[in-house]
Every structure is written in C-alpha cells, then in structure tokens.
Structure 1
C-alpha cells in the first residue's frame, strides 16, 4: 500500500472551509477514510487591536489553499478534483506534487501538530500620527517612532520642557487619528 503524503489544493478564495467539509463528506460517503486521512485549512491566532479593544481571531495562513493528507490514486484524485470550489492541485501541469517532510515542518506541521504563531495586527504603524487616550499624557499627539510587539508598547516623541522625549505607551493607550 502506498504511503500518504500532504498535497496542496487550490480553491476559490473564501471557499476553503466549504471545500474541507465537502471533501470530508465525500470521504465518508465513499468510505475512503483509509485513503484520504486528513483535510486541513491551516489557521493561526491573530490579535487585532481596533478602537482600543483587543480581539483574538483565527486567520487563514494560506487563503485559497487547503492541505490534504492522502494516498494519491485515481479515485482520491477524482474525489478531490471534482469537489465544488476546487480549482486544482498545486503542481506542474495536472500532476499533483506532494509536500516534503521538510516543507511541512516549515509550515508548522511537524509531527502532525500545528505551531501556534501569535501575530498582532494594529491599526497604526511607524510614522502614523496617533493620540494618547488615557493616562497622564491624555490628548497628547505624536508620530509613532517605534512599536515593540513583545512588550506590547508604542514609542512616541512627546514635547517635554521644550524638547522631544521618547515615551512608551501600551497599545491600548493610543488611537490612530
């Protein structure tokens, strides 16, 4: 029996989860559980800061793509390829190319477990003008000089005693103008 490999399937944008569900239904209906082993839409937690409110959401790592661990043969190829929303396998021409173990580990799928990569999405960037919304510097306005995601702070030059001094603020203390 051939060994299962990971393949990448291209889908219409926004149809990734629908394609995953449809493939899983086809696998169940055709009793292919021993040939199509896993269907995955890789996501990662992303912390967004909008209007000074932190919200953690799951964001697709590869929009428009679904990963499938399967044994490639005519039947499994047909089931996947003819699923509504699938535009084709990734590979040269019509020949699907499996991902190597090294490629899967780079994607965070080493040993079948996905890595949790935390990313922070802010509504401001270095150079943007922001206003301080709380604390002793409330209503101060400045251009973002630096952002420290680990400490979750932003540095603004604030006018103190006639000269600019860099002051650190928490992400929630500033708002983009």
Structure 2
C-alpha cells in the first residue's frame, strides 16, 4: 500500500482523521487502509497528522508551555489502496478538499518522503523545540528585572537556553544585556 496526501481545511486535520477512522470501521473497509504496529503490540490505521512539539511563551506567564504545532497545516498522510472505493470514502469525509494528484489517479508519496516526515515527527516528540518569539534586529522592551522599562534591539538569540542578548542604551552608551525570553516583549 502506498501513502497519499489528503488536503483538508486548516485546523480540521484531527477531526478529519477521527471521522475517517470511524467511517473505515463502519463501512468495513479496513482491508483498503494500511495499519502500523505500535510499541505496545496494538495496531492502528496509518493515518498521520504531521505535528511537532514546541515550547511557547504565553503573555503574562513566566514559564513556557508545551504546545503542538502542525508541520504541514491542512494535510494528512494516509496509507491506502488507491481504488474507486477508498478514494470516494476519503473524498466524502467532511473537511477533506481533495487528495493530491488528479481525481482519478492521486499522486503517491515516495517511501523516502514518508520516512523524512515520520523522522521529523519522531524527533520533534523526543525533544521539545523552543519557539523563538523574537527576530534578530527586532525592537523589544524589557518587562522584568533591573532593566525593566528600557527599550533595545535584539542582537543575539540563544534558543536552547531561551535567552537573548539585547542592546539597550544606558547613559548614552549601547550596552549588551542577556535576558530570558519572558523578560522582554516585542514592541
């Protein structure tokens, strides 16, 4: 069985996946869709919503929060036999716009493409990647600590440490200060 890309409305990916799973079972079409073996020995349909896990700073909160971000918003990857029955089933799901390729002959993904996507998902699940809320050269205002109220420009970003170097003007001199992400906000 090959993998196909299903285009959905944005932010409908998980809903489409859930409805597709229910519909496959209700219509007894499990033989047309690929399954994968989980670590605990159970099987599940190979329908992938590509996501990564990031840490994100929310306004007003000092500590970062874990969040899921879609790698390819509006897309699912489905392993299936591409025949009239399976294509009609997938296209009939509310929220699905189309399967990539032509209507009668969808375009399958290359095995290497699927491996890369699965690797991205797995590496993102193992290590939370911090979201970088600032860009180099961006004006910011210090909101916490001894330099509170000063404005400056982002000089360096250290995403793994969740810190930035900001150049502020103190007594007419450009002075670099090292701050946590939560101690500054974009202007």
Q: TM-score range by the shorter chain?
A: 0.7 to 0.9
Contact 1:52-1:175 at 8 Å conserved across structures: no
1:52 and 1:173 in contact (8 A); partners too: no
Q: Report the count of equivalent residues.
A: 170
- TM-score relative to the length of structure 1: 0.83
Deviation at 1:52, TM superposition (A): 4.9
Residues 31-70 of structure 1 mapped to structure 2, 5 A cutoff: 31-37=28-34, 38-53=46-61, 54-70=64-80
Tell me if structure 1 keeps the 8 A contact 2:130–2:160. Answer: no
Structure 1 gap segments, 5+ residues each: none
TM-score (norm 2): 0.79
CA distance, structure 2, for counterparts of residue 49 and residue 5 of structure 1: 39
Contact 2:153 2:167 in 1 (8 A): yes
> Comparing both structures, which one devotes a greater share of its residues to helix?
2
1:21 aligns to what SS in structure 2? helix
- For structure 2, the residue ranges without an aligned partner over 5 or more in a row are 35-45
Residues 139 and 7 of structure 1: is their aligned pair in 2 closer, same or farther, counting only changes over 3 Å? Answer: same
Alignment partner, residue 37 of structure 2: none
Q: Which residue of 2 aligns with 1:129?
A: 139
CA spacing shift, 1:172–1:52, aligned 2, 3 Å? farther
- 1:105 aligned residue (102, 112, 115): 115
Q: Mean Cα displacement is larger for which, 113-122 or 84-93?
A: 113-122
1:72 maps to which of 70, 82, 85: 82
Measured after TM superposition, the shift of residue 168 of structure 1 is 1.3
Residue of structure 2 aligned with 1:120, choices 112, 120, 131: 131
